[in-house]
Structures are given as structure tokens and as C-alpha cells.
């Protein structure tokens, strides 16, 4: 958000019909994974909030959903928020990061926070975090590599894979076990590498074969394509997996659909299920989210694990 957007946030806050929903890309994914797993404290989230009512709401929402939180609190900044404007089921976003930009790697070193990192079998970063604390991303990726845990990264947005942030992604890639991104993000990455940006299968294949720090691991590359089948490459082998269609009359809000897909995928992955089953869980989660406002869902999932 820029100064010119200040009036937008003020206008939304003045509306009586505005909804306040806990968000943030990685936090959305953890909430969805927790919802699908239905197991207390199956997930944790580390981030930064302000000492204000929005931060209080965010903490309470996550804890109600069963996600353990270990927030850094910056009393000098307001909790970050994202204005989401929905028209006919499609969304426009305007993010004001605020306290989210204050996160520092020193917070990770607190014993109660580092314990969460050390005990995690899967560690997930949204690519947006390259603008905040790339040092923290490198620390948790290195810890995952040291322990043999799975480090997962989402490309998040086209700007993340362009200079100056592209260098950070390139540094992290050898440690990445599961790489997520959508069609546009994958194509932007390919363009930055001088690859054919139109051949998604070839892009996924090449990304899956990029050198890995741990020789025994096979990188999984997951490229979502909206209503079209998801493309997955593992060790150079490419597969297509269907999504779960939602009738247009049931479409409420596409905000959070990609985050939900990741949450469903990782929930299934944590159970040791196949890539096909992971994609099925991701597609289910995304199909539920688009039928609700923001990243929200029913109390219990209507989903049967295979």
C-alpha cells in the first residue's frame, strides 16, 4: 500500500459490513492444514504483529483454530492488514504490512520459538518473506536441512522471482523440498532464467532437477493453475492432477484459494500420503475456501482421507 491508499483502509474500517478475518499467506495455509488434520497443535505459526486489537484478533483466531502461535510483538507498529475488495467472486488486494515488516531473526532464537522450529517435520515459508527477513528464511531452511525435515517454499508473487529478490530465492532453492507457485510465478521465474516461459511442463521439470543440497531427496514442484489441472514434477517426471470444480453460483471469494491448496497439500503430505492424494486434499481445501469469504471454512471438513 502507498499513502494514496490510506483513504481506502479508512473507508473499509468505517463500514458496518466489513469483515475481519485472520490472514497472511503462510498463516492461511497453516490454519487450513490444521482444519483438515483436526489434531490439536498439529501446526504452528511464527510471525510479527502489533500490540493492538487486530493483533489480538489474529492471535485469538489462530488459537481457536488450533494453530500454536509464537508471534513477535512490535509495540511501535500496527498489525499488518490486507484490504480485500470482492466483486462478483473476484478479488482485488491492497496490503499494508506494518508490523509484519518488523520480524527479525533474533525472535527465532528465543528458546520457546526455536523449539517449534526444531520439532517441525515440515517448515513452510511464503516467498513474500524475502522482503522482511531473508536471514530468517535461511536459518529455518538450514535447520530443516540439518535434521532431514522438509523445507517448503512458495514463490508467492512474480516480483519475488525478479531482482533484487530473485537472488534470495536462488540461494534457498537447493534446500527446497517442495516448491509451490502459480502459473504466472513459474513463467516469471523461467523468464528470469532465460527458459521457454510458455512450456509449463518443461519449467516444472527443470525446477525439480535443479541441484539439491541433500542428494537423497527428490524435489517436488507444484504449479497451480486456477480452475485448470495442477502440474506436479518430481525428479523430472511431470504429472497433471485435477482440481475440484465449483459451480459459479457457489463462488463467493477466490481470496486464499492458493493458500488453502498449500494447506491441504501439506496436511496430506504430513500423513505420508502420495502426491496424488496431496493434490486431492489441496484441491478440496481450495474448493471449500472459494465458497466462503476470505480464508474461512466450516467447523469440520467433509473430507475422507484415502
C-alpha cell at 26: 503462510
| Closest-CA residue to 255 (of 9, 16, 20, 23) | 23
Distance CA 22, CA 92 (A): 17
| Closest-CA residue to 80 (of 109, 64, 58) | 58
Report the chain's C-alpha Rg in angstroms.
18
Active site residue 259: yes
295: how many CB neighbours lie within 10 A of its CB? 26
C-alpha cell at 190: 523461467
**Among 145, 177, 253, 259, the one annotated catalytic:** 259
Q: Which residues contact residue 156 at a Cβ distance below 8 angstroms, ignoring those fewer than 6 apart?
A: 25, 126, 127, 128, 181, 185
* Residue in the structure block whose three cell numbers are 511442463: 201
Q: Which residue numbers are catalytic?
A: 259
Amino acid at each position: 500500500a502507498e499513502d494514496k491508499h490510506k483513504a481506502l483502509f479508512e473507508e473499509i474500517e468505517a463500514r458496518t459490513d466489513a469483515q475481519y478475518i485472520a490472514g497472511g499467506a503462510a498463516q492461511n495455509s497453516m490454519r487450513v492444514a490444521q482444519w483438515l488434520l483436526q489434531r490439536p497443535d498439529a501446526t504452528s505459526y511464527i510471525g510479527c504483529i502489533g500490540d493492538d486489537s487486530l493483533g489480538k484478533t489474529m492471535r485469538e483466531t489462530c488459537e481457536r483454530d488450533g494453530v500454536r502461535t509464537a508471534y513477535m510483538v512490535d509495540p511501535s507498529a500496527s498489525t499488518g492488514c490486507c484490504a480485500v475488495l470482492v466483486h462478483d467472486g473476484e478479488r482485488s488486494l491492497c496490503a499494508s504490512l506494518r508490523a509484519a515488516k518488523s520480524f527479525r531473526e533474533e525472535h527465532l532464537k528465543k528458546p520457546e520459538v526455536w523449539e517449534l522450529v526444531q520439532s517441525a517435520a515440515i517448515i513452510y515459508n511464503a516467498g513474500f518473506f524475502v522482503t522482511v527477513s531473508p536471514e530468517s528464511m535461511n536459518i529455518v531452511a538450514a535447520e530443516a536441512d540439518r535434521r532431514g525435515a522438509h523445507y517448503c517454499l512458495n514463490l508467492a508473487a512474480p516480483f519475488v522471482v525478479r531482482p533484487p529478490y530473485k537472488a534470495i530465492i536462488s540461494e534457498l532453492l537447493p534446500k527446497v523440498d517442495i516448491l509451490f507457485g502459480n502459473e504466472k510465478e513459474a513463467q516469471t521465474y523461467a523468464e528470469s532464467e532465460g527458459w521457454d516461459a510458455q512450456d509449463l511442463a518443461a519449467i516444472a521439470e527443470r525446477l525439480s532437477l535443479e541441484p539439491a543440497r541433500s542428494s537423497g531427496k527428490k524435489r517436488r514442484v507444484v504449479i497451480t493453475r486456477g480452475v485448470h489441472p495442477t502440474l506436479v514434477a518430481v525428479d523430472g517426471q511431470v504429472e497433471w492432477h485435477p482440481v475440484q470444480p465449483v459451480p459459479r453460483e457457489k463462488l463467493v471469494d477466490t481470496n486464499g484459494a492458493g493458500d488453502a491448496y498449500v494447506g491441504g497439500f501439506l496436511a496430506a503430505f504430513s500423513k505420508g500420503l502420495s502426491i496424488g492424494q496431496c493434490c486431492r486434499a489441496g484441491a478440496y481445501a481450495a474448493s471449500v475456501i472459494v465458497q466462503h469469504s476470505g480464508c474461512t471454512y466450516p467447523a469440520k471438513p467433509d473430507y475422507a482421507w484415502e
